[in-house]
Structures are given as C-alpha cells and as structure tokens.
Chain A
Amino acid sequence: AQKITQTQPGMFVQEKEAVTLDCTYDTSDPSYGLFWYKQPSSGEMIFLIYQGSYDQQNATEGRYSLNFQKARKSANLVISASQLGDSAMYFCAMREGISSGYALNFGKGTSLLVTP
C-alpha cells in the first residue's frame, strides 16, 4: 500500500500568491517524521521542512509551513508569496523508525509552476 500520497501531479500559481501542496500518509507507527523536499530542474534534492509526529506546533521555515493534521494523516506544504524560483518538483516523504529500517518513503511528487 502506498505510504505517501500526493494527489496533485501538477499545480500552477501566480507569483506572490500562496499555494498548498497536498500530502497524506499512512502509518501505524506512533513515531515518525514527515519531510518535504524540493527538486528543481537541475536535479538536486533540497530539504525544505520537517515535522515530527509528536510536535505540537506546525513547522515553519521562512516562506514554507507544514499544515500538520495528525488525525487526518495529512501534512500539506504551504508556500507563501510564491517566487519564480519556486518552480520545481516537490516531494513529500515519511520516515518511520527502526521497524521499517528507517526508510524514507516518498510520494510521487507535485510539479509546481509559478507564473509571472
């Protein structure tokens, strides 16, 4: 079964607008971490933000915030004030504990295009 689901293959947003990229996850492990990575056209994987399963507050890193709804098993990424340089693939990922070998499981990604 898919552990991470990203239902939006592609998204468009206008510069300076906010955009939400959806992510839902599936786990029975009480301890897990949720990550978002950005992959620009150059190909490197860039870590954006992390949320631990026991964290009470939603994570924020600059213009990125993670809307963590534990009961719904969702971890949506919100990018505020989009910039042209935000155009990229975005991957949601989940890391469980030792029982899963610490594997980081990725979703299939969302392609974001920021337009002027």
Chain B
Amino acid sequence: NAGVTQTPKFQVLKTGQSMTLQCAQDMNHEYMSWYRQDPGMGLRLIHYSVGAGITDQGEVPNGYNVSRSTTEDFPLRLLSAAPSQTSVYFCASSPLAGVLELYFGPGTRLTVT
C-alpha cells in the first residue's frame, strides 16, 4: 500500500493564483481531511469528509474548497492564493471504526509571494 500520497511536495504561487493540492489514499478509508501547520500553531483542520459526496468545514476553511467524488481522492483547491496561506499542508485519512488513528501524507510546503 502507498498509504496517503500528496502532490506536489513544494509549490510557490503568486498572490491571486489558484491551484489544487492533490491527495489520494489506497486504504479504503471513509474519512479524509486537510490540515495546515503554521509555526507555533499546531495543526488546524481546514476541511474534512466522511465519505464520497460529503464534505464539511473545519476550523479554518476560508479561501479553500474541497470535493470528494471518490473514496480515494480528496483534492484541496486554493481559489485565489494569499500570503496568509503560506503553510505546510497535510492530508490525512482514517477509518470510521476502531481506534480512528489518522494516517498522514508527507505534506506539501506552499509559499505564496
């Protein structure tokens, strides 16, 4: 199993540009989520999904869109990038039964200039 994969690993955007961060998992997990990590802030939840066709907002959803058309994929779209979105982005997935351990992707480091 590849686990949770994210692309790209690094990205530099100019203010106002849009882009999509890709996330895929091959563990048949119902739950998928996106976090951003900023220095001194821990990880904060952006959006999450409990199954295909179902998404919801987390703690910091503004400026981001998600969709979940398949169980495997959960892309995160930045509509109009801002310097405040410079961060490290983690995708994570889990089953919805048992321990509910979250499996993390390797992260995407995004810089908005």
Q: What residues of chain A have their CB less than 8 Å away from a CB belonging to chain B?
A: 4, 33, 35, 37, 43-45, 47, 50, 52, 91, 93, 95, 101-109
Majority secondary structure of chain B interface residues (helix, strand, loop or mixed):
strand
Residues in B whose Cβ lies below 8 Å from that of A44: 104, 106-107
Task: Name which of B12-20, B43-51, B67-75, B78-86 contacts chain A.
Answer: B43-51
C-alpha gap A21/B96 in the complex (Å): 28
Pull 18 A–B residue pairs with CB atoms less than 8 Å apart, ordered by A: A44-B106, A44-B107, A45-B43, A47-B101, A50-B101, A52-B99, A91-B42, A101-B48, A101-B58, A102-B94, A103-B33, A103-B48, A104-B33, A104-B45, A104-B102, A106-B43, A106-B44, A108-B40
Which B34-73 residues have C-beta < 8 A from chain A?
35, 40-45, 48, 50, 56, 58-59
Q: Name the distance in Å between A41's Cβ and chain B's nearest Cβ.
A: 13
Nearest first, the 10 closest Cβ-Cβ pairs linking A and B are: A45-B104, A106-B42, A108-B42, A106-B43, A50-B99, A104-B102, A103-B45, A95-B100, A43-B107, A47-B101
Contacts of A109 in B (CB 8 A): 42
Query: Residues on B close to A: CB < 8 A?
Result: 31, 33, 35, 40-45, 48, 50, 56, 58-59, 88, 90, 92, 94, 96, 99-104, 106-107
In Å, the complex CA distance between A92 and B31 comes to 20
A102-B96 contact, Cβ under 8 Å, with A107-B42, A108-B40, A109-B42: yes
A47 to B94, CA, bound (A): 12
Q: Which residue of A lies closest to B96 (CB)?
A: A102
Contacts A35-B101, A43-B106 given; does A102 touch B40 at CB 8 Å: no
Residue numbers in B under 8 Å from A107 (CB-CB): 42
Interchain nearest-CB distance for B72 vs A (Å): 18
Kindly report which residue of chain A lies nearest to residue B90, judged by CB atoms. A45
